[in-house]
Amino acid sequence: MDTTTAITLDSLEFTNRFARLDGPFHAQVEPQPLSEVRLLHLNAQLAGQLGLDAGAAARDPDFVAAMAGNRKIVGGAYVASVYAGHQFGTLVPQLGDGRANLIGEVLTPSGEQFELQLKGSGQTPFSRFADGRAVLRSSIREYLCSEAMHALGIPTTRALSLVGASDPVQRERFERAAVVCRVAPSFVRFGHFEYFYFRNRHEEIRQLADHVIEAHYPHLAGFPERYAAWLSEIVQRTARLMAQWQSVGFCHGVMNTDNMSVLGLTIDYGPYGFLDGFDAHHICNHSDEGGRYAYDRQPVIGQWNCSKLLQATLPLLHEDPDQSVEIANAILTRYPADYMNQMMSLWRRKLGLVSEQEEDRELINRFLNLLDKGKSDFTRTFRALSNLRDGDDKPAMRDELLDQAAFDAWLPDYRARLAQDGQPEAERQQAMRAVNPKYVLRNHLAQAAIEKAEASDASEIDRLFRVLQRPYDEQPEFDAYAAEPPPEARHISVSCSS
């Protein structure tokens, strides 16, 4: 970008709409300094979007100090918000930003508004006796994955910077502290509304809803039935997000209502994982002993979470409680169709199907069953299908499937279906490669970057970051990043401390 027009952190224009809410929505906090901080990575593209000169920022000790929470930015609000949440299905009436500090909301040169939030900058009133810190391991995972998801085209919070420090933090073992600066239009969650609902604080529910609508759903502001319309959009966005997760084999791991965004963003990257070998029942979080948030459960949990948001906003829908419940149920009943329509659209695109045909669902399910039966690599198999040639009856991808006879039976039906659309081979391949990524953030890749960083080498963070910015491109020089994980790395375990 043109450095003559670039601005510094202290000259950012802060609007701080959430922080200006008058009520018990947040508490003032002071970030707690860390020792020997250093910038491990800076997202140059996002810095430029905010109006910052990335090169100058990376060299500026004041920038690094601010991203570590060691100094305040002029104009920042510095608050932590309070919320509740259903954690693994059980209501916890008070949670909140226990290790997150909202610096404030900035207005970018292009007119966009983003909130900047430090994760790991110390204790807040909502830390619940925890230390308020984040470790290097989990911070690297969040930094890389939020940007990887953005590059995949999936709505998500983003990450501006990753700062490491020398301070020890106790988890399963002693680790080093780190701070991620997260960026999103809003960090308001379903749990924010639950907090006030279960305290019978209806006026705060309305005030918070009005803020979200005015700031992020302005097309609904002033509309007489705006609350029902707004909640309908949230349900639709959530259904769409669940389909997008499923389509790339992403498992969130902790789909509590306090980890659900009212903007339909992927938020809070903890024990997540991308499928390697396809297993519809895959559980990525070893803390999830009952499999509540397994891969195949994510869509229905998305609906369940929406039901809890609707419950928490019943006072907005009608003065008559029975009427409120009726309206809420009508909104929720649209979720399955919204999800299925989006999911089928994405599966069709991944298989290169242009039109909609009645037999598509069976064809798609047969292919997914092939993958599941042999635990075939999800990402690699779909990418290989993208490169299928019209006249190749024994494609190389056949060797990756356990039940080759079933694949041989499926392939002619698939080719016949492609012939119905009549799309030229090259055009089909290009379209399929645009939705079937070659590169995703597999656990063993993240672990390699973590181990190097723990040995004071951040080079793998940068290399992996660059690869994941172009997930749909071939990038032959990085083919190794598209390989299946080695046998010893196929069972890397992640938990809620990840």
Question: Catalytic residue numbers?
Answer: 258
Instruction: Answer yes or no: are the C-beta atoms of 432 and 386 closer than 8 Å.
Output: yes
Q: Is 131 annotated as a binding residue?
A: yes
Q: Is 99 annotated as a binding residue?
A: yes
For residues 203 and 198, what is the distance between their CA atoms, to the nearest angstrom? 13
Q: Is 408 annotated as a binding residue?
A: no
User: What is the enclosing helix (H) or strand (E) of 85?
Assistant: strand 85-87
CA distances from 144 to 17, 385, 457, 463 (A): 28, 27, 16, 11
Q: What angle do CA 451, 143, 163 make, to 5 degrees?
A: 75
For residues 109 and 5, what is the distance between their CA atoms, to the nearest angstrom? 10
- Cβ neighbours of residue 45 closer than 8 Å, sequence gap 6 or more: 469
The pairing of strands 158-170 and 174-184 is antiparallel
Instruction: Answer yes or no: are the C-beta atoms of 272 and 251 closer than 8 Å.
Output: yes
Instruction: Answer yes or no: are the C-beta atoms of 352 and 431 closer than 8 Å.
Output: yes
| Alpha carbon 9 to its chain's center | 26
For residues 244 and 435, what is the distance between their CA atoms, to the nearest angstrom? 11
For residues 279 and 302, what is the distance between their CA atoms, to the nearest angstrom? 19
Instruction: Answer yes or no: are the C-beta atoms of 80 and 126 closer than 8 Å.
Output: yes
Instruction: Answer yes or no: are the C-beta atoms of 289 and 182 closer than 8 Å.
Output: no
Q: Is 436 annotated as a binding residue?
A: no
For residues 473 and 126, what is the distance between their CA atoms, to the nearest angstrom? 43
For residues 305 and 335, what is the distance between their CA atoms, to the nearest angstrom? 11
Please report where in the chains the tokens 């020890």 appear, as a residue.
Answer: 168
- Cβ neighbours of residue 342 closer than 8 Å, sequence gap 6 or more: 239, 240, 243, 244
Q: Is 291 annotated as a binding residue?
A: no
Q: Is 394 annotated as a binding residue?
A: no
- Cβ neighbours of residue 494 closer than 8 Å, sequence gap 6 or more: 253, 270, 271, 272, 273, 284, 285, 286, 443
Q: Is 200 annotated as a binding residue?
A: no
Q: Is 43 annotated as a binding residue?
A: no
Q: How far apart are the first and last CA of the chain?
A: 35
Please report where in the chains the tokens 């950012």 appear, as a residue.
Answer: 12
For residues 167 and 178, what is the distance between their CA atoms, to the nearest angstrom? 9
Instruction: Answer yes or no: are the C-beta atoms of 29 and 82 closer than 8 Å.
Output: no
User: What is the enclosing helix (H) or strand (E) of 421?
Assistant: helix 404-421
For residues 276 and 249, what is the distance between their CA atoms, to the nearest angstrom? 8
Q: Is 189 annotated as a binding residue?
A: yes
Within a 13 Å sphere around the CA of 164, how many CA atoms are in the beta-carbon half?
19
Binding-site residue numbers for Mg(2+) are: 259, 268
Residues within the annotated binding site for ATP? Answer: 96, 98-99, 119, 131-132, 182, 189, 268
